[in-house]
Structure 1
Amino acid sequence: MLEEYSEDCNLIPVEKLQAAIRRITLTRSAVPVLCGSALKNKGVQPLLDAITLYLPSPDDCTHDFMSWYKDDLCALAFKVVHDRQRGPMVFVRIYSGMMKAQSAVYNVNKNCTERMSRLLLPFADQQVEISSLSPGNIALTVGLKQTATGDTIVSSKASAAAAARRAVRSEEKTKDRKSQDNLVLAGVEIPEPVFFCTIEPPSVAKQFDLENALRCLQLEDPSLKLILCGMGELHIEIIHDRIRREYGLETYLGPLQIAYRETIVCGSRASDTLDRTMGDTRHQVTVELEVRPLSEDIPLIEYSANLPSSVNSYKEAIENGIHGCYLTGPLLGSPLQDVGVIVHEVSVLPGTSMTVVSACVSRCMTKALKMSEKQILEPMMSLEITMGEDHLSRVLADLSQRRGNVGAIQDRLDSKVVLAHVPLAELMGYSTDLRTVTSGTATFTLELSNYEAMNPQEQNSLLRKKGLV
């Protein structure tokens, strides 16, 4: 297009037009727009050329970590795929230094060294083997077994340590603590999963194959957790389908459940004693502790001032027992949130094992939680719906029935955009319902906003539904 325009008008050389577009793109004054159709293979090549011509290379950026690594390798693993013959294949973007085949690299996030056997240049479904690659390029690596999406790859552990020292010196000059953190922990931000379900293999013989498939999928998708937790109904359905297609496993999924949280409204105090004789040894522990609602200025775990110094040798076991309790709340068995603990008394008979101390602390905390006033927290979603004005009233009426809180209604060209805050429990199957209400013309996006307390009526209804009251 630019060549034709330049030749017809005979005014501006195409190189000057491209240089001008690049300048305004780098300053973010304008955004180049290209038309085409991937389905019909039209406009794809100009789009790829435009990426090279107009978008910034690492030399055009002034990120601090590039100066800290200097000429050493620094690359970001942004995608992991699995090949039946080659195993995990990692796509990396190189920001500084040279990446070479048959070399050892250091994964900063996993704190481990791995050996990269091959380096490939991807061209659609074809890969060309190369010996090295320079900054600004994307490569496909073979041999990195532990690397997951979002990990930072550098040349060696010594290189990461040297960069950290330069970051410390820079921090002392600029007083910027965040810069050092960004250096070593570069990656992608993974939101908390909001749905979960159980997944079972078709037989005990296939248990190992299922575990291997899930490990591989977790490297590709860090938002996937076990038991199978994901970002939405479609996310889990896609994972289930991939396990069937790519790994040949006909697995069974349990019912989809929402990832609630639990907290307490007021504090309570409890004590407990655990006395067991195992073999020839008597194990005895007495614990007294208090649970309370947690605010920003209160530490998660506090120790009473009158505790004897001997308790210090049991602190790890005490905190293991407390942290174990945070995983299972007293109402639904969901994780606890915003609950603080004060340890008032710990009395341990000499020779008692650390495992017994942890068990007693966990049992005492469970007792205190059951005595307190409990509250279920439900995930609230930020919902953005784009539709024609004709469907606005029906969409708003539907949101009000879903306990939605509409924050704003905006105009976007000829469309209306509704910004709302809606409980996740009310959005099961929402894509189908929205298509029905708007005759298939509306689109929406969802993002986890926060966790909010359920009102008493909804909480009692949920507990009755689960058969807990």
Structure 2
Amino acid sequence: MGAAHTRHISSLAARQILLRNGRWMLRPSGKGLRCFSKIAPRWQADELQRTRNIGIIAHIDAGKTTTTERMLYYSGLTRRIGDVDEGSTVTDFLPAERARGITIQSAAITFHWPPEEVSTQGGGESPSTVPEQQRSAVSHTINLIDTPGHADFTFEVLRSLRILDGAVCILDGVAGVEAQTEQVWHQAGIYQIPRIVYINKLDREGSAFGRTVKEVASRLGGWPAVCQIPWLEGGNGRFVGVADVVNLQGLLWKEGGDGKSIKVFDLKQLETENSNLAEELKRARVALVELLSEYDEDIVEKFLEQDEDHLAVSPLDILNSIRRCLVEQGNKIIPVFAGASFRNMGVQPLLDSVVNLLPSPVESPDPEVSIGGIKGSLKQLLSGDLIVAQKETTEVKGKQKKKAALQSESQSSIEKLQSCALAFKVVNDAKRGVLVYVRVYSGSMDRNCLLYNTNLNVSERAPRLLKMYANDAVEVDSIPAGHIGVVVGLKHARTGDTLISYAGNKATPPEPLNTLQLRPIDVPPPVFFASVEPHSLAEEKKMQESLALLLREDPSLQVTVDEDSGQTLLSGMGELHLEIARDRLINDLKAKASMGRIEIGFRESVTAQSPAVTKIFDKEIAGRKGKAGCTVVVEPFDAAKAADTLGPPSEHILAIKVQDGNQIIILSPGLQVSTNNKGIAESPLLPTGIDVTTARNALYNGCMAALARGPQFTFPMHSTRVTLTLDPTEHIFGNETTSSALSAAARLATSSALRELASTSSTALMEPVMNVTISVDEDSLGAVVHDISSSRGGHIVSLDDDQGVPSSEEEATLVDPAKVYAPPDPFETSSSSSSSSLGASLPGTANRARTITAKVPLKEMVGYLKHLRSLTSGRGTFVMHIDRFDTMTAQRQKAVLAELGGYS
């Protein structure tokens, strides 16, 4: 059974837990058995309270991997501290990561904090049974995910975030809150993940803790709860430690050491040895209690019990108050901590805060699930209410079952549901094969159980289960709810699939459990592509297998085949994304293939409405005659205005879908739809064996196939509305009409309508326009703005300096940075720390960071990083994501087509 968590275990890698007759057995390596009388359910519940599933999120180069390495070292999992520059880190284990010094793949690793051998006499007790202790006094299991910071790998961050219960957001104390930080912060907010902030690199010249705290308020839209302040030598010298606002202590690290030796000063000692720091610590404690009092009534009572003395409120009461504020959804409290991970300072208190403040799987918000198209929470599913609601909506009128009978059925189904898990990551390991990382949400996933994939509707066994330690693993017998583990040997599971196991090892669970979905991800459209060619025909099969494995690992990659040239095209989110995919394909997966230069994925759109085009498909398909018809009208589509336009009568609509920027409307007047006793929509006018859903899907797939290739420039269609009409009297030909024939008819009619418009030059080329955020120094601002607006055809949206820039108008109204407590920075003056007149004379502000927000065509951003570095003396950075596809001007279209070749 997963990670055992009792005082008797000092190293998970050396021990295994087995369940025998309802009793937990501990088997140390090479020794006899020792038996405990704790019953499994109680043991599991207590262990789950002592589990933290956390992620490290931040902008690139903020120190995520460096901080993670220190966490592993202090927890006792590693015996030396890995270095990103040396390529010796535990979590960055891919060759491409070590070569570039960046995180590409999120890595999962499990460790204990505090280390079990040094945890207090509370031993294996649950924190709830020792209320006078901080949670960090008892050893906890931490499942940590180290995520990428580069904008090209935003999707990698997103798929990791959704299985977490808490996150640590790391900020660079010099650069402050950067563009990518805002993006990942917003993504974590979508999944309602409680977050704490760790301001790193305070040892560097120009670092400003106070300024960064203000930016947390203005840019991240929350009230910073300053839990630590920096301890600077002499008040304005080098960073030597932190002052703990919660415990009213000073923590001093030895310079040049490994960080394990910490000298602790209480408030009285600080008043004697460093009176200025002690006074600032008192001010910080007052500000913290006052801030918490605005959001938590319990802390107000504790404050009044202590005769309104801010310093007398106990540290445990403050920690519990912060924890309540964090776990409550919608609260705007952001705990802030300080440190310098590279100098081995501040990481142990950060780990204590992870244990003390971030929620366990039991306390985290219920994940959203959908079953049979009905959305709800996991708790509603496990109680049976969601299945009852789903069945009530699908029962045929006049045949509804009583609610009590439905509840009895649903409860019976739920009782047989053994486990429900989300496959959030698929990795190909050279030694172990394909590893599927899963987060188990309910029940327990056991070794050799039969897993049903609700996305692919296939079943496969889980022959081996592992608990991962970055690139190392320990085999376990099961993965309980709330934990993260790895399944080895699955042949079909992909990133984002929902996996369930059912009592009796049934291959297919009963309806509607076979439609269960956990937190699906919407994959953004890729904007870069490159051709991939095998070295010989004999290598093509190996290349296709390797590409299929890449797609299982990363759904943000896409593979298509160009119909004219027969080339295989690999599409991705950015230049670096495709470059890494190429390295993985050739170096890791050993495919003998070569990749062409990276190109941009343009789109094609229509500029006028086509006449109604009717086509009858009449051919043999696989030896069977197929005949079907369809009428199509194609016209421009604007998603922003679509809601304002009056559509066709609702009784004629079979489906309205928006996919890849196009809208498909399927109409069938007079089809006479009814629902049978199994809840399936049928029509007497459709041939035998084809129900309404099958016909609709066939028409939709045929239309999408036609839209994948434009009539004039061969790029995929965008901003196009297709209205398909299926008239049963004209387009259905008895049993000759099959689903394949309907799909072929829809494709034929859609392609013909598009060619009609192309013949009258009523199509245009569209290009991706990127939302670009550039961070530069004040001195380089003018040169970069001029380059974007004149040389690259971009449009400057805003110019803001790094202070007081809200991420949205709503957040700006909620948080006023002027009311936020932040300790003064060494170079700050009483008049104004942000005054531009002082900028040249104050250290650290001679080159204030400025942020440029612009919209620029993607074509002009290819290779932009090198150019930006030359304009800014190597200091500029940028992140970008797709904003929209825009129609090109005639002049620009002509230039692009000439460059592509083959068009005039």
Q: 1:59 to 1:294 in 2, by over 3 A?
A: same
Structure 1 position 382, deviation (Å): 0.8
Task: Indicate which of 328, 335, 338 corresponds to 1:31.
Answer: 335
List aligned pairs for 1:38-53, cutoff 5 A. Answer: 47=350, 50-53=353-356
Structure 1 position 270, deviation (Å): 7.1
Task: Indicate which of 796, 799, 805 corresponds to 1:409.
Answer: 799
Structure 1 position 442, deviation (Å): 1.6
Give me the whole-angstrom Cα distance separating, in 2, the residues matched to 1:286 and 1:148.
Answer: 36
SS for the counterpart of 2:539 is helix
Q: Which amino acid aligns with 2:705?
A: G
Q: What's 2:571 paired with?
A: 229
Q: Which amino acid aligns with 1:239?
A: A
Structure 1 position 114, deviation (Å): 2.7
List aligned pairs for 1:252-401, cutoff 5 A. Answer: 252-269=594-611, 289-294=632-637, 296=642, 297=645, 298=647, 300-301=664-665, 321-337=702-718, 338-341=720-723, 354=741, 357=745, 360-361=748-749, 364-372=752-760, 373-400=762-789, 401=791
Q: What's 2:419 paired with?
A: 73
Q: Which amino acid aligns with 1:213?
A: S
Q: Which amino acid aligns with 1:324?
A: A
Q: What's 1:418 paired with?
A: 852
Q: Does 1:161 align with 2:512?
A: yes
Give me the whole-angstrom Cα distance separating, in 2, the residues matched to 1:286 and 1:84.
Answer: 51
Task: Tell whether the 8 Å contact from 2:546 to 2:591 is kept in structure 1 after alignment.
Answer: no
Q: What's 1:239 paired with?
A: 581
Give me the whole-angstrom Cα distance separating, in 2, the residues matched to 1:304 and 1:142.
Answer: 47
List aligned pairs for 1:444-459, cutoff 5 A. Answer: 444-459=878-893
Q: Deviations over 1:13-63 (max 9, x none)?
A: 77566545534443551234353436x777666655543432222221332
SS for the counterpart of 2:337 is coil
Q: What's 2:543 paired with?
A: 210
Structure 1 position 287, deviation (Å): 7.8
Q: Deviations over 1:227-281 (max 9, x none)?
A: 3000011111111111222122342112322111111111233768889998x99
List aligned pairs for 1:33-112, cutoff 5 A. Answer: 33=337, 35-37=339-341, 47=350, 50-63=353-366, 65-70=377-382, 73-112=419-458
Q: 1:304 to 1:200 in 2, by over 3 A?
A: same
Q: What's 2:266 paired with?
A: 8
Q: 1:324 to 1:222 in 2, by over 3 A?
A: closer
Task: Tell whether the 8 Å contact from 1:74 to 1:153 is kept in structure 2 after alignment.
Answer: yes
**TM-score normalized by structure 2?**
0.44
Which range moves more in the overlay, 335-344 or 354-363? 354-363
Q: Which amino acid aligns with 1:334?
A: F
Task: Give aligned-pair identity as a percent.
Answer: 31
SS for the counterpart of 2:558 is coil
Q: What's 1:440 paired with?
A: 874
How many residues matched? 449
Task: Indicate which of 119, 122, 140 corresponds to 2:468.
Answer: 122
Give me the whole-angstrom Cα distance separating, in 1, the residues matched to 2:794 and 2:358.
Answer: 40
Q: 1:69 to 1:116 in 2, by over 3 A?
A: farther
Q: 1:96 to 1:321 in 2, by over 3 A?
A: closer
Give me the whole-angstrom Cα distance separating, in 2, the residues matched to 1:453 and 1:66.
Answer: 43
Q: Deviations over 1:442-464 (max 9, x none)?
A: 22111111111111111122222
Which range moves more in the overlay, 203-212 or 351-360? 351-360
Larger Rg: 2
Q: 1:272 to 1:463 in 2, by over 3 A?
A: farther
Task: Tell whether the 8 Å contact from 1:291 to 1:368 is kept in structure 2 after alignment.
Answer: no
Q: Which amino acid aligns with 1:113?
A: S
Q: 1:31 to 1:287 in 2, by over 3 A?
A: closer
Q: Deviations over 1:156-195 (max 9, x none)?
A: 464883598xxxxxxxxxxxxxxxxxx7251333211001
SS for the counterpart of 2:771 is strand
SS for the counterpart of 2:710 is coil
Q: Deviations over 1:43-89 (max 9, x none)?
A: 66665554343222222133252303438633332222112343211
SS for the counterpart of 2:788 is helix
Q: Which amino acid aligns with 1:67?
A: K
Q: 1:22 to 1:325 in 2, by over 3 A?
A: same
Which range moves more in the overlay, 51-60 or 200-209? 51-60
Give me the whole-angstrom Cα distance separating, in 2, the residues matched to 1:131 and 1:442.
Answer: 50
Q: CA RMSD in A?
A: 3.9
Task: Tell whether the 8 Å contact from 1:120 to 1:139 is kept in structure 2 after alignment.
Answer: yes
Task: Tell whether the 8 Å contact from 1:290 to 1:344 is kept in structure 2 after alignment.
Answer: no
Q: Which amino acid aligns with 1:336?
A: M
Q: 1:106 to 1:259 in 2, by over 3 A?
A: same
Which range moves more in the overlay, 245-254 or 350-359? 350-359
Q: 1:15 to 1:154 in 2, by over 3 A?
A: farther
Q: 1:16 to 1:143 in 2, by over 3 A?
A: farther
Q: Which amino acid aligns with 1:340?
A: V
Q: 1:51 to 1:123 in 2, by over 3 A?
A: farther
Give me the whole-angstrom Cα distance separating, in 2, the residues matched to 1:422 and 1:381.
Answer: 5
Which range moves more in the overlay, 446-455 or 123-132? 123-132
Q: Which amino acid aligns with 1:151?
A: D
Q: Which amino acid aligns with 2:787?
A: D
List runs of 5+ in structure 2 lacking aligned partners: 1-241, 251-263, 269-311, 367-375, 384-417, 503-507, 560-568, 648-655, 657-663, 672-682, 804-847
Q: 1:162 to 1:325 in 2, by over 3 A?
A: closer
Which range moves more in the overlay, 324-333 or 94-103? 94-103
Which range moves more in the overlay, 291-300 or 397-406? 291-300
Structure 1 position 103, deviation (Å): 1.6
Structure 1 position 330, deviation (Å): 1.9
Give me the whole-angstrom Cα distance separating, in 2, the residues matched to 1:117 and 1:282.
Answer: 45
Q: 1:399 to 1:302 in 2, by over 3 A?
A: same
Task: Tell whether the 8 Å contact from 2:769 to 2:885 is kept in structure 1 after alignment.
Answer: yes
Q: 1:81 to 1:46 in 2, by over 3 A?
A: farther
